[in-house]
Amino acid sequence: MAANAIEIRGLTKIYGGGRNSPEKRALQGIDLDIPQGSVFGLLGPNGAGKSTLINILAGLVIKTAGRVTIWGFDQDHNPRQSRASIGVMPQELNLDPFFTPREALEVQAGLYGVPRRQRRSDEILRMVGLEDKAGAYARTLSGGMRRRLLLGKALVHHPHVLVLDEPTAGVDIELRQMLWENVRKLNQQGMTIILTTHYLEEAEEMCDEIAIINLGQLVARDSTVNLLRRLDSRTMILHPDGPVGRLPEGEGLDVTQRGDGALVIRYRSAETPAEAVLAAVRAAGICIRDVKTEQADLQDVFLELTRRR
Ligand code: ADP
Ligand code: MG
């Protein structure tokens, strides 16, 4: 069994609670293991606690309770080693406006104690496509360029684990592709990747494993494949070969007719074989001109898991 890049136990974060700020329970006892070498997706609706969790990993937010181990180093007992093992590209575009990209990378490398001869600012600038902007002030960079620089900053100390918090929220297609190419390349080189994203297709495509959090609690944690398998709901869309007298009926079938005359039949494949659906259609005297089926995707799993409050 592969070792874990990250181990989280009973992680709890309560913001505020002082005289002027009401208490906000952002994380409520999260237990989570993230295997080495994976591309791991952390999903959840806005306000679920994703950034709080990530910022605790990054050492930017102080946890209220619980244990965090990064690359085998307990965050409380070995803060330096655990911090050196992880690089974080934050959600906020927080850059010093007076540094150029090259300076920003050098300063970051200095903060992490990377010796001068081990620094590779030029390589990183090339990788994130900022070699032309190496000497430009950060305040003159576009939003997309700032995001690339933040990715570069997360990489200066050669971390084992790279964390990206909503890296593609509101970025153009070109930058999104560049980010995913880099993520794939780094993962192939052995880096463990953790990312949060709003785009479920993206998680479906990129992530081996997924955790879903809602209201500060873990509601699912599985391989992407298993998570998708969990929902066996199917939708069959039938175009009848003429007007429909009565709708098909049958146990476990949810049948509606669309404005264009097509019948939309929802069923669970584990309970109702497709043949039984078709038999019900024939029994209603309907001839089928065309048929299409749709499977549940991550969007459905996500909605089902985060719907209950
Ligand atoms: P996500 O990244 O999943 O959208 P966050 O971790 O940013 O969620 O926020 C989780 C919850 O904690 C939200 O209700 C948010 O309003 C609250 N929260 C986040 N940061 C702070 C803070 N600095 N002070 C008080 N509440 C906060
Ligand atoms: Mg967030």
Alpha-carbon torsion, ordered 192, 198, 202, 208, to 10 deg:
40
Q: Whose CA is nearest to atom 24 of ligand 1?
A: 15
Residue-wise pLDDT for 266-305, tens only, equals 888 878 888 899 999 999 999 999 998 877 667 777 777 7
Q: How many CB atoms neighbour CB 131 within 10 A?
A: 14
Q: What is the mean pLDDT of residues 252-268?
A: 92
Alpha-carbon torsion, ordered 83, 168, 124, 206, to 10 deg:
80
Ligand nearest to the CA of 91: 2
- Distance (Å) from CA 54 to ligand 2 centroid: 9
Choice from 15, 50, 60, 64 to test ligand 1 binding pocket (greatest atom count within 8 A of CB): 15
Choice from 51, 53, 212, 219 to test ligand 1 binding pocket (greatest atom count within 8 A of CB): 51
Does the pLDDT value for residue 2 go beyond 60?
Answer: no
Tokens of 193: 């990747």
Q: What is the mean pLDDT of residues 216-239?
A: 85
**CA dihedral over 88, 89, 90, 93, signed as positive or negative:** positive
Q: What is the mean pLDDT of residues 103-121?
A: 94
- Distance (Å) from CA 296 to ligand 1 centroid: 30
CA atoms in the 13 A half-sphere facing the CB of 164: 31
Point out the least confidently predicted range of 19-23, 81-85, 108-112. 19-23
Does the pLDDT value for residue 187 go beyond 80?
Answer: yes
Q: How many CB atoms neighbour CB 236 within 10 A?
A: 20
- Distance (Å) from CA 14 to ligand 1 centroid: 10
* Domain ranges, ordered by start, for the chain: 231-296
CB 72, CB 117: distance < 8 Å: no
What is the b/e burial string over 14-50, where b = at least 16 CB atoms within 10 angstroms of the residue's CB?
eeeeeeeeeeebbbbebebbbeebbbbbbbbeeebbb
Q: What is the mean pLDDT of residues 62-67?
A: 97
- Distance (Å) from CA 43 to ligand 2 centroid: 10
**So what's the pLDDT on residue 41?**
96
**Percent of the residues in the chain that have a pLDDT greater than 70, as a whole number:** 96
Residue-wise pLDDT for 26-54, tens only, equals 999 999 999 999 999 999 888 999 999 99
CB 219, CB 305: distance < 8 Å: yes
Choice from 13, 52, 214 to test ligand 1 binding pocket (greatest atom count within 8 A of CB): 52
Average pLDDT, the chain: 90
Predicted TM-score (pTM) of the model is 0.80
CATH fold label, 231-296? Alpha-Beta Plaits (3.30.70)
Tokens of 164: 């990206």
Tokens of 26: 């952002």
**So what's the pLDDT on residue 192?**
98
- Edge to edge, the sheet with strand 254-257 lists 254-257, 263-268, 233-240, 288-295
**So what's the pLDDT on residue 1?**
41
- Lining residues, ligand 1, CB within 6 Å: 15-16, 24, 26, 44, 46-52
The span from the CA of 71 to the CA of 55, in Å, is: 16
Minimum-distance ligand 1 atom for the alpha carbon of 52:
6
